[in-house]
Every structure is written in structure tokens, then in C-alpha cells.
Structure 1
Amino acid sequence: MKGGGLFVLAWLAAVWPSALAAQEWPVRYVRMIVAASAGSAPDVICRLIGDRLSPRLGQQVVIENQNGAGGNLGATVAARAAPDGYTFFCGQAAPLALNQHLFKTMNFDVARDFDPVTLIGMSPMVIAVNAKRGIKTLPDLIAVAKAEPGKLSFATSGTKNVPHLTAELLKSRAGIRMAQVPYSVTTQGAMDAVTGVVDLMIDGIPAVQAHVQSGSLIAVAVSVPKRVPGLEQVPAISETVPGFNVSGWFGLVAPKGTAPATIKRMNDEMKVVLSEPTLIARFSDLGVYPDADFQSPEAFGKFLQSEAELYGRIAAMAGFEKE
């Protein structure tokens, strides 16, 4: 056989197994790592996805909880997995964009160690004010904060997270001062906003939604430019503070080097799952909203980079120190 024929045979021998593997994927269960404990909101979100993906893929999607280090443990386990198409990381904004600005040392790098698959959904923040405070709108809130510098207090679930970033950016852009009161238990922060221990809460929608519906808290603004389903009457912060856009979110990534055909198949199936009315309704209860603008791997990759840059700017402005 001539040299050219031998070259073609050698090339086919090298390429055919990987092409066949990609075509047949998956042939066994798919592991989806979640950087949160069982029963938590991130866990529920990823299980809702896994339950719907399994019949579409023809293989079981197994959720593996790896909680710790602010999400870094789960991300590290996923980053070190073989890029064979059988491990994915269902992660939130913290390990995928924020933590690089909070930790001196991390055992993974998002850009280096992961390939983007899709954005799962946005998780916007809401500003909810004690109804007895007399503050009905965001302009009202800003006016009171300027008249009483540093006297207004706001609850957040924890610190150095998306609710805290939202508050810090608002304070900077609106030129106001408010005192943060972080809570380890979200429900306690919401209840203290209701009873007036603090003046308001800045957090995810589920944290305050029941109190808003009861009239104990008044939702004056959401942190994303688009009106939020179920809270369409609540204006965006950007309607008062132009250009304001901060949100939590969830996304799906794969270990770097995962076959493009596998990523495309998973992306195609995820788009179908994320468009299912039953999933959208359940996600809405959890304060998560799919956004088709960032569901392609390319768009989600750019989103990851821009979110990391945004979080970094806010963290630096707020004086967050790496630990």
C-alpha cells in the first residue's frame, strides 16, 4: 500500500474511536456534581434538571453533592474529572465567577479547567422594605438614605456574596450609605425586616416573596433589567440607576477537553429541558429564570468571563479582601 493510504488508515484509526464514542454517548450514567448539600436550593435545581435529562439521554443522571469551601470543593472535584463526557458541574455564580476574587488560593481555574455548556437560569435579587417604613419606591429609599446617611440597615443572607455585591453596587452608584446586617439564617433576616429590626432586605426572591405577598414587606426593585415573572409590577433598579445589572445564576460546565459533540448534545438536550413549562414553573418558585440569550456554549462562555469581571470590580470597590 502506498504511503498516502497508510496515512489515511492511521488517521482513521486515531479518529474513529473518539468519533464513535461521541456518536454513542452516553453509554452509562452521567454524573452531575453539585457544590451544595442535599435539599438545598442548588441541589433541588440540579435534580429537577437531572430528572428531565435522564429520559432524554437514555441514561441516568446521578447527582453527586460535594459541599464545602463556598462551592470550591465541588468545582475542584469536577475540574479534576476525566473529560470523557460523564462528569458535569452544575454550579452557581460563586464558584464559577465570584470566588476567584475572594480566595487567595483555589485548586481550579474556570477558564482553564472548564468548557461552558449552558446557562441554566438567572437568580435576581430583590430589595424588600419594611412596609411601616413609609418607603414605597427605590427613589424613596435613595432619598431617605441620603437624608439619613448610614442609618438605614439592610439584611443579607451571609456576606461577600451576590446579595452583598448587589447592595454595595447600589450604594456606590446611588451615592448612599447603609449598614449591612448579615444573617446566617435567611429566614431570620427576612423576619427581622418584617418586624423592623432592620429596615430592608436585599436577597433572592424566595427569601422575601411570602412577606411581599402578605404586605409586610414592599418590593421596591429587582436587580436585573428585565421585569421578573410574578413580580412584573416591581421595577428594575436600572430604571432608577441606569445600567444596573447584578444577579445570581446557575450554569452547567464540563471538564476542559470534553468532546465538542458531547457538549453540543448536552446543550441541545438542556435547551429542551429548560423550555419545559413544568420546569419553568418550578424554577420560578425557586427564584430562577432561564434566559435563552446565554444558552449556547459560546454565549455562556462570554457570560462567564463578563460576570467574573463584574464581580471583581464590585469586590474591589467594596474593599473585599481575599482570604
Structure 2
Amino acid sequence: MKRRDFTRCATALAIAATAPAAFGQNWPDKTVKLLLSQPAGSGADAMARMISDQLAKKWSQSIVVENRPGGQNVIGAQAAARSPADGYTFYFATAAALVTNPYLIKNLPYDPQKDFVPVGMVGKVPFVLSVNAGSQFKTLADLVTYAKANPGRLAVANEGPKTFGGMMTRLLASQLGIQVNSVSYVSVGAAVTDTVGGQVEVLLSDLPSAVQMIRSGKLRPLGVTTAQRVSGLENVPSIADTLPGFDFAGWLVIVAPAGTPTAVVQRANRDLDAVLTDKDIASRLLAIGPITEGAGTVDQTGAFLRREYERWGSVTKAVGILPE
């Protein structure tokens, strides 16, 4: 090889080696977009906007939160998957979008495992089994005793058979050895309202949707679905106290389109972790939804997503749900 050609080759390699670092240092130099699958005004929307406000300060750049609700998260997830992998689009993703939809929907127009790269965890959202204030059930044991004596008579409100609440209702009943009447609602708000009003006695919902009614005494919590008790509701037992190993929660993560520059993903992860580990932000998030322990690393988030994907595959099989 001639010396001139060798020099050119060496220079090109040096530039290629430093390009990712340079990209990360200069990024972002324009508006960043954060997509989510929930409507404006929802709990997830409030969380996304709170986090975006903090990241925008760190990045000295505006972040636009774009709501793409509908289709069991498919509309938002598909839009995110098809976005340019240039470091300027992120997806505020739910567990449904990334790990349960493949088991529930035939011909899903995106591949959660191939179309996204993990950025970081946002937090986990416990679910809670609760009853109206006038219910005869004071504990989970009371409920189980009644259900065994009256197979199929106990009505449990949730958001539908293919939602987290619906699937956990069936899984919980199976593991407790009881038969229940799972009552589907078009929204968790409607399910909460009917449970408070006594039209249905039992509710299985995400904790943020029920917590105000629990604190006001209009709903009585019998157990949370996470293995550990929940901060602020330490007197509410975990269902795992009755069913060892029962540990389920919804969760939220931030991902990016596959192919997004590694330097951008790493910086976004680092800054997200700094936001979530701020005590004030963590407290504000807890008031409206998730329990956060920081973003974790990119690798930890990826490993978590793979475990959840496999676990929910087992759950959907166990409760007999097939994709439609």
C-alpha cells in the first residue's frame, strides 16, 4: 500500500472511531420527540411530560410529547418503530406494547424485540385488589372463603380479558383455586366508579386509578400484586403473603427505534437516571403512578424486557388466551 493511501485509510478509520462520541457530544441540536400510546391527560401522559420537562433542561433543547393513543398501544408503538433512528425520537412504552401484545394480537405490525432498543426504566405500577367500603370482605382470606363456597358468583371488575387487570384476575383466581365472574369495563375509571357505588363488589386495577378512593375510605384494599408492600400503603398486605412468588406489576420504559446511535442511547439513559433518582421527581411520580428506582443501565433494561417477554408468554398460555 502506498504511503498516501495508507494515510487516507488511517484518517478515515480515526474519523469513524470518533464519530459516535462526537455525535453524542453535539446531540441534541434540534427538537426531540417523545411518543406515547396514551391520550393527553392520562396518568402516563402526566408522567411523560414531567420527565420530558426535566430532560429538556438537561439537554437545553425542547421535547415535544406526541400522543398516539388507540389500538391497544399499537398505533403509538407502530409510529415509534417506523420513526427515523436518528436519536430524535423516543417511545414512552407500556408493558402491553412491548411484551403482551405479541401474544394477544395476530399480525402485529411491529416487532417489539427487533424494532426497538432499550434506553431505561421509568418505573413499575402495582395493581391492587380492592372492594367497596360496605363489602363483607375484610381480608383476602374472607374473599377466598366466600368464592369457594359460591363458585362463579363473585364479580371482579377489570378493564377486559386482554388487559393486565383481566389477565391477572384469571391468573389470581386460578392460583387461589376459586371461580370468579370477570366483569369487563371500557375504562378503569368506570370500573372504579361502579365498585365504589356497589354495582360490583371487587375491583382489580392499577393502583394509581384506585389510590384516591382507597385513601378516602371508599375502597378497601385487600392486597397489592407486587411481592413487596407499597410505600404509602404499608398496611396493605401483598398477595404474595398468601401466594408466595406472586409478583406482577405494570411498568413503563423508554425505548428508541432500532439503530439509534449508541452514544445517544447511553447519554439519554444517564440523564434519565439522573432525573428519576432526584428525590423530588421520584416523589412527584409516585403521587401519580410508578415506583421508580432509577433508569438502571441500558443492558439491565434490555434484560428486564427479555424476562418479561418470556414470563408473559407463560402467563397468557396459563390463562388460555390466544392471539386474535
TM bucket (normalised to shorter chain) is: over 0.9
| 1:83 aligned to which of 82, 85, 89 | 85
Correspondence 1:306 to 2:307: yes
How far the C-alpha of 1:200 sits from its partner, in A, is 0.7
The one-letter code of the counterpart of 2:226 is V
Correspondence 1:24 to 2:35: no
The one-letter code of the counterpart of 2:50 is L
Contact 1:145–1:152 (CA<8 Å) still a contact in 2? yes
How far the C-alpha of 1:231 sits from its partner, in A, is 0.9
Contact 2:23–2:263 (CA<8 Å) still a contact in 1? no
> How far apart in 1 are the matches of 2:285 and 2:149?
39
Residue aligned with 1:133, SS: coil
Aligned to 2:239: 237
Residues 102-130 of structure 1: CA deviation (Å, up to 9, x unaligned): 11011211111111111101111000012
> How far apart in 2 are the matches of 1:52 and 1:186?
29
> How far apart in 2 are the matches of 1:153 and 1:51?
42
> How far apart in 1 are the matches of 2:180 and 2:264?
48
Runs of 4 or more, structure 1, over 6 Å off, are none
> How far apart in 2 are the matches of 1:216 and 1:64?
35
> How far apart in 2 are the matches of 1:49 and 1:175?
42
Question: Which segments of 5 or more consecutive residues in structure 2 lack a partner in the other structure?
Answer: none
The one-letter code of the counterpart of 2:319 is A
TM-score, structure 1 length as denominator?
0.94
The one-letter code of the counterpart of 2:259 is G
How far the C-alpha of 1:16 sits from its partner, in A, is 3.9
Residue aligned with 1:228, SS: coil
How far the C-alpha of 1:59 sits from its partner, in A, is 0.9
Aligned to 2:125: 123
Aligned to 2:141: 139
Contact 1:120–1:295 (CA<8 Å) still a contact in 2? no
| 1:171 aligned to which of 146, 154, 173 | 173
Residues 139-170 of structure 1: CA deviation (Å, up to 9, x unaligned): 22222211211111111134411111221221
Contact 1:125–1:166 (CA<8 Å) still a contact in 2? no
Residue aligned with 1:112, SS: coil
Aligned to 2:164: 162
| 2:104 aligned to which of 102, 114, 118 | 102
How far the C-alpha of 1:23 sits from its partner, in A, is 2.1
Matched ranges for 1:174-253 at <5 A = 174-253=176-255
The one-letter code of the counterpart of 2:272 is M
> How far apart in 2 are the matches of 1:301 and 1:160?
24
> How far apart in 1 are the matches of 2:197 and 2:62?
46
Q: How many residues align?
A: 322
Aligned to 2:50: 48
Query: 1:256–1:149: structure 2 CA closer, same or farther, 3 Å change rule?
Result: same
How far the C-alpha of 1:210 sits from its partner, in A, is 2.6
The one-letter code of the counterpart of 1:216 is K
Aligned to 1:295: 296
The one-letter code of the counterpart of 1:184 is V
How far the C-alpha of 1:131 sits from its partner, in A, is 3.1
TM-score, structure 2 length as denominator?
0.94
Contact 1:157–1:183 (CA<8 Å) still a contact in 2? yes
How far the C-alpha of 1:245 sits from its partner, in A, is 1.0
| 1:285 aligned to which of 280, 284, 287 | 287
How far the C-alpha of 1:78 sits from its partner, in A, is 1.2
